[in-house]
Structure 1
Amino acid sequence: MLTENQYLSLDATEMAKMVKNGDITHVELVDASTQRKEKVNPTLNAVIYDRNEHARNQQHSPGPFSGVPLLLKNISQTIKGEPMTAGAKLMKGNIAKQDSYLVQKLREQGFVFTGYTNTPEFGLKNITEPELFGPTRNPWNVNHSPGGSSGGSAAAVASGIVPMVGASDGGGSIRIPASFTGLFGLKPTRGRMPVGPGIGRQWQGAATDFVLSRTVRDSAVLLDGLQVLQPEAAFHWPRYEGVYADDMSKPFSKPLRIAFSNRSPVGTEVSEDAKEALQKVLTFLETEGHEVEEVDNGIDGVALMEQYYLMNSGEMSALRVNIEESLGRSLTPDDIEIETWVLSEAGQTVSAATFTRSLAAWDTAAAKMAEIHDAYDLYLTPATAYTAPSVGELTHSQAERQTLIRAIEREKHDPLPVLYDMFLPSLTYSPFSQLANLTGQPAASMPVHIAENGLPIGVQAMASKGNEDLLLRLAHQLEQSDLWEVVCVSGSDRN
């Protein structure tokens, strides 16, 4: 029987190795995960549905993660016949009709699925405080949020319930929680991961599924296993010809040229903690022989964020129509949370021409970043502008909700200012992550700093499309240094 400390010391790769060698069974791992969950989840609210008995009885494949317990994010990572709420009170009781392709691939990798994690309604926020399930809390300090939208997932890994967890990223939803909870969070290149069935373009290509992990090698091994050329997908990227897990430890063949910026792309403030975290990494890279240079990428961040919100509004408006058709009635503001309502109202007035021009703005930004990467291997920024916000800080009050309802009704002809103002407090915390979603580039948040308030904050690296190997090599190099700051914590342990 594994002790708690033994369980917490293992990453997913090591767990699978022990199962393969007969040192432990997958049932022992599931039981250890369950015991840890029972200890910390009442405080953290990271896990919303359990399937531990299913996991104990699950036949697992002999893949690289054979027998390892894994939690799924309850928004797009579905198992047929099981709950899929997407954090929405309107979806309470909704049952998935099929396994997602990602879940099928994860099953092939050998994972056993132990439950589902909390997420904000439809993944729209960088915090995890849905009305349906209540807030998830940060294991480093339970008065703070773990971020979002993969906040339940981040809290589950940071507290040691599982070593790696299902997550997704449509605007930073892997990288923001990674920064706030001290984890490694990689968003792969657009077209690298499986999608669907029934969805060919997640948020028009902005969103992708992957994981959060404590070790770089876990993400590298899984990236090898999940990368796919999927005929029915809207976007494709050629398979990597090497092996990520092997190549991440290879030295760089020549010094890297690294661009960086510590300025918010939307002109908001950036904390000294975020700047210090970035500077620590830059100093380390210079001592390793790499060349670093501050660079302005030339992209109008405010204008690009407006296009991001316009996409959100179109997606939420279409989703609302689907739900209304299914229910046979119109939705009201009482049915959905305020962000969903305002976005879906705004989307009703967006013309096809406006939506098409908006997507063209994504392509323009991608072209500018391609120019940057013609000259520089990597582009570094803070992962977030601040450490994690307090629980409740970014949730709108009832009075604010009523104001927003009136504002979007009044300004439907020109909704972007309303959308921008609604999200600005949240955007101030995380202005750096959305760019990679719109350009399709891979990006990763790396846990390299603990701020004076005792909370972690990460540094983000972006590479050109298809170059996840560079990000993994950089992260592995940092992981071997004194900068890496990953520990298992829980609210009850620390506070």
Structure 2
Amino acid sequence: MSDIYKNNDALGMAELVRTKQVQPKELLEEAIQVIEEQNPALNAVIHKMYEQAEAAIENNEWTGRFAGVPMLLKDITQEIEGEPITSGSKAFRSYRAKKDNEFVRRVRNTGAVFLGVTNTPEFALMGITEPAYHGPTRNPWNLNYTPGGSSGGSGAAVAAGMVPMAGANDGGGSIRIPGAYCGLFGLKPTRGRTPAGPIFGRHWQGASSDHVLTKSVRDSAAMLDEVHGLEKGAAFYAPPFDGSYLDCVNQPVAKKLKIAFTTESPLGTEVHPECVEAVLKAVKLLEEMGHFVEEQGAPVDGRKIATGYLTMYFGEVAATLSSLEDVLGRKAKSSDVEPQTWLLGLLGRATTAEEFVLSLREWDKAAFAMEAFHETYDLYITPTTAFPPAKIGELEPKPMEKLLINAIGSIGLGGLLKKTGMVDQIAEQSLMRTPFTQLANLTGQPAMTVPLHMTKDGLPCGVQFIAARGKEDLLYQLAGELEQTDIWIDARQLMKEKS
């Protein structure tokens, strides 16, 4: 890997292309070389588009902000015309996208060169990336550990230096969790800030937003400048922002902030000492910068947030399984998807319309509560995750659990499961490692993970910052300042160590 490719972020590469110090073809060749070297061990890229990328370079006029910069997209919702998109499932193994979705179209207009698609868990349902169809993706910092999910393939690819940025989306933490585990910057935008169409007007009832994972803050901000804005027909529209997010990165925060923080899980479950230390380190730094920081939890019921999130989750899986008929030409069977996915679908089919509506009302209550909270506090800080990365396979169901899941799935006992109260147990077990990220998805707030801590085992550990709706500019301002501090983890260091 050359120093040019290793040391530059996406904007740096684009500037070299613009000033003719490097040719797009050289960057593409570098990207391909790194993918071919690293991917056999990482399994981050599950579909390669080298020939398409070469053709795009020949036809590109190199006028966009990221002209000539290699980029990967994610294997769910980010549809590229004519290319496979499996959503991490064998059920979609023969599916080809009919057209670019709007997010991809806007990214393409920046001049970025698409050269592949990254791995994701089946239907983006897990905080780890270990789909049965494509196999597990591994963390570049330590191959025995997960890069997180559901944008784990993108996180691993960026951290390993395959590309300077990659497409991602976040419906419950899927940008921020891989960002935290891979030592990257990841921002989930305000609901409606980035486009969702044209196939859908909303993703996961507005909980999910598309954006990117990056090594530098400025790359994330510059891409948001390019892709944000009104999409006709979309279900949601974010508060308008007329400035430049990229400019915000270089503007110090104009006032001393009042910031709340917590290290306690909203579920009342364990938080690993390393994740606590990450937050306390950030608090100390912010106080040294002159901001007022105090310990204060969010004014929401954490268990209601978890239950409301999973109610949507169950319903969305059930709807996805029903829509498979259009792809398969028949009704979906349990053998078409992973057993856990089928079980989630059964729970969705056992969920009533009344329960679904009541859960959405809880989302709205939480949104109003957080708006009031931000009248006092500019930002809310938590660990991004409650635990450092798990080992590959560690979170797989145990043999007896697999037998139980298969048995329940085969006889369709979703309704009985709900009556036994097992949904609450599922909520705790599935979210206890990542209980902090769902709040911003349900309330529609912007939230970012910043790489401020490294565990004693040499694994990155992120800190989450949540702002009021529409305040990505404040997050980028603060992130730009934090990026200049000594405790910021620069993933480019990993590339230097590996080279």
Mark yes or no: TM-score above 0.5. yes
Q: Are residues 29 and 314 of structure 1, via their aligned partners in 2, closer, same or farther at CA, if it must alter by over 3 Å?
A: same
C-alpha separation between the residues in 1 aligned to 2:121 and 2:236? 26
The residue number in structure 1 matching 2:264 is 263
Of 291-300 and 70-79, more deviation after overlay is shown by 291-300
- When the two structures are superposed, what TM-score results if normalisation uses the length of structure 1? 0.96
1:480 maps to 2:481: no
Change in CA separation of 1:264 and 1:462 when aligned onto 2, cut-off 3 Å:
same
Match of 1:12 in 2: 10
- 1:327 CA drift (Å): 2.9
TM-score normalised by structure 2 residue count? 0.95
- Residue 41 (structure 2) pairs with residue 43 (structure 1): yes
Conserved? CA contact 1:158–1:489, under 8 Å: no
CA–CA distance in structure 2, aligned partners of residues 63 and 492 of structure 1: 29
Q: How does 1:427-446 map to 2 (within 5 A)?
A: 427-446=431-450
Provide the rounded CA distance (Å) in 1 between the counterparts of 2:498 and 2:418.
Answer: 44
Letter in 2 for 1:34: I
Return the offset for 1:207: 0.3
SS at match of 2:375: helix
* Structure 2 Cα separation of the partners of residues 192 and 266 of structure 1: 29
**TM-aligned CA deviation for residue 324 of structure 1:** 2.9
> What amino acid is the match of 2:38?
V
SS in structure 2 at match of 1:429: coil
TM alignment of 1:252-401, pairs within 5 A: 252-324=253-325, 326-401=327-402
Which residue is equivalent to 1:175? 176
Q: Distance in 1 between matches of 2:495 and 2:139?
A: 7
> Does the CA-based 8 Å contact 1:342-1:419 persist in structure 2?
no
Q: How does 1:68-83 map to 2 (within 5 A)?
A: 68-83=69-84
Q: Identity of paired residues, percent?
A: 46
The whole-number CA distance in structure 2 between the counterparts of 1:119 and 1:493 is 27
Letter in 1 for 2:50: N
Matched, 1:26 2:29: no
**Alignment partners' CA distance in 1, 2:258 and 2:497:** 41
Alignment partner of 1:54 out of 52, 55, 63: 52
Q: For residues 137-172 of structure 1, what are the alpha-carbon distances to aligned partners after superposition, in whole Å with 9 as ceiling and x for unaligned?
A: 000000000000000000000000000000000000
Task: Indicate yes or no: 2:219 matched with 1:221.
Answer: no
- The CA RMSD measured in Å over matched residues stands at 1.8
Is the counterpart of residue 466 in structure 1 residue 470 in structure 2? Answer: yes
Q: Distance in 1 between matches of 2:170 and 2:91?
A: 23
CA–CA distance in 2 between the matches of 1:25 and 1:229? 34
Q: Are residues 1:456 and 2:460 paired?
A: yes
Aligned to 2:64: 63
Shift in Å, 1:426: 4.0
Partners of 2:332 and 2:114 in 1: CA distance: 34
1:415 paired to 2:413 = no
Q: 1:207 to 1:410 in 2, by over 3 A?
A: same
Offset of residue 413 of structure 1: 4.8
Q: Secondary structure at the match of 1:412?
A: helix
Give the aligned partner of residue 92 of structure 1: 93
Counterpart amino acid of 1:137? R
Instruction: Find the aligned partners of 1:411 and 1:119 in 2 and give their Cα distance.
Output: 26
Q: Secondary structure at the match of 2:335?
A: coil
Q: How does 1:117-196 map to 2 (within 5 A)?
A: 117-196=118-197
Deviation of 1:449 (Å): 0.5
Residue pairs, 1:230-269, within 5 angstroms: 230-269=231-270
- Amino acid of the structure 1 residue aligned with 2:252: P
Comparing 38-47 and 338-347, the one that deviates more:
338-347
| Alpha-carbon separation, structure 2, partners of 1:491 and 1:164 | 14
User: CA offset at residue 427 of structure 1?
Assistant: 1.6
Query: Structure 1, unaligned stretches of length 5 or more?
Result: none
Paired positions, count: 493
Q: What is the distance in 1 between the residues matched to 2:332 and 2:493?
A: 41
- State the alpha-carbon separation in 2 of the partners of residues 159 and 223 from structure 1: 23
C-alpha deviation, 1:224, in angstroms: 0.8
Shift of 1:436: 0.4
Distance 2:310 2:35 in 1: 36
How far off its partner does 1:238 sit? 3.4
Contact kept in structure 2, 1:182 and 1:447, CA below 8 Å: yes
Q: Distance in 2 between matches of 1:476 and 1:257?
A: 18
**One-letter code aligned to 1:8:** K
Secondary structure of the structure 1 residue equivalent to 2:115: strand
Q: CA deviation at 1:80?
A: 1.4
| Secondary structure at the counterpart of residue 71 of structure 2 | strand
Matched position secondary structure for 1:71: strand
CA contact (8 A) 1:124 1:339 kept: no
C-alpha distance in 1 between matches for 2:494 and 2:222: 27
Could you tell me how far apart the structure 2 residues matched to 1:325 and 1:105 are?
A: 27
Instruction: Tell me: CA distance 1:434–1:302, structure 2 relative to 1, closer, same or farther (3 Å).
Output: same
